[in-house]
Amino acid sequence: MELHDFKKAWQKVNSDKSQSEGMDSATINELLRRRSKGILSRLDRSVKFGIGFLVFFLLLTLADQFLPANFIFPSDSRVSFEVPRWINLLEWFVNLILMMSILIFVVRYRSLQAKTLADQDLKETIEKVLELLDTFKKEFYLAVIILLSGISLGFLSGANKGFQSVQISQPPSILNVAIVVVAMLLLLGLILGSIFYIFHKGYNHLFGKYRDQLIKSLNELQENEE
């Protein structure tokens, strides 16, 4: 069988199928309205959702900082205790990083022209999809780090409060303090490590293979150009 036989076979299939596959414009319009399962649309949605989530988290944190303590919860249902200054500073530091990152993500998303990704040269399209994937990855890990920072700060606040109350009622020995601090850090490390591992595995499961596939295609293009 020669290549022109392939051509003939291909043309035959297409002329045969064109009758049965034809859609009218109403059907095509209906397809445009439906939510797509395609990876480009999903990736675009994920990045937008990620930016939305980070903005929401930032607003929530700012509301927590600036609104009066009893704005959301009645004052008598809230157990009040003094948060140490260094924990407050850490919270502000995390917020600052968050604000800067959101700004960077929005600028990067716009510069990628994600809406028209498929209307470029093949190589450019693959490179931009990889960049978009990279943006989403950073967004994803930032969300994980924020979550872990929140858990750590809450854990440290609680531990600090507990330590203060014990000190008032019954001053502990240095050995006991050392044991408690080491145990707390181990527990915190274990919790943070497990959460990070689960999210990391989750991300790789979602997009790891896809990234490999794109890199393979890009390498194929570059190898031939060289």
Partner 1 sequence: MKEDFLRNVTQNQGIIHKVTRIYCDDEDDRKDLFQEILIQLWKSYDKFREQSKFSTWMYRVAINTAITNFKRDKKSRKQSEIGKDLYQLADEPYDEEKEEHLKLLHEAINQLTGIEKSITLLYLEDKAYEEISEITGISQNYVRVKMNRIKKKLESFVKSKERI
* Site residues (vs partner 1, CB under 8 A): 1, 3, 5-14, 16-18, 20-25, 28-29, 31-32, 34, 36-41, 115-126, 129, 209-210, 213-214, 216-217, 220-221, 224-225
Select 20 or 173, whichever has its Cβ closest to partner 1.
Answer: 20
Give backbone dihedrals phi and psi of 34, rounded to 5 degrees, phi first.
-75, 155
Return the closest-CA partner of residue 141 out of 107, 97, 181, 106. 97
DSSP 3-state of 55: helix
CB of 225 to partner 1, least distance (A): 6
Residue number with CB closer to partner 1 (7 or 78): 7
Would you state the structure tokens that stand for residue 193, as one six-digit string?
A: 């490590």
Closer by beta carbon to partner 1, 11 or else 167: 11
Shortest Å, Cβ 144 to partner 1: 23
DSSP 120: S
- What is the DSSP secondary-structure string of 125-188? HHHHHHHHHHHHHHHHHHHHHHHHHHHHHHHHHHHHHHHHHHHHHSPPPHHHHHHHHHHHHHHH
- Report, in Å, the least distance between residue 134 CB and partner 1: 14
Nearest residue (CB) to partner 1, 7 versus 201: 7
Nearest-angstrom CA–CA distance, 145 and 153:
12
Residue type present at position 188: L
- Comparing CB distances to partner 1, the nearer of 8 and 78 is 8
> From the CB of 125, what's the least distance to partner 1, in Å?
4
Shortest separation between residue 47's beta carbon and partner 1, angstroms: 14
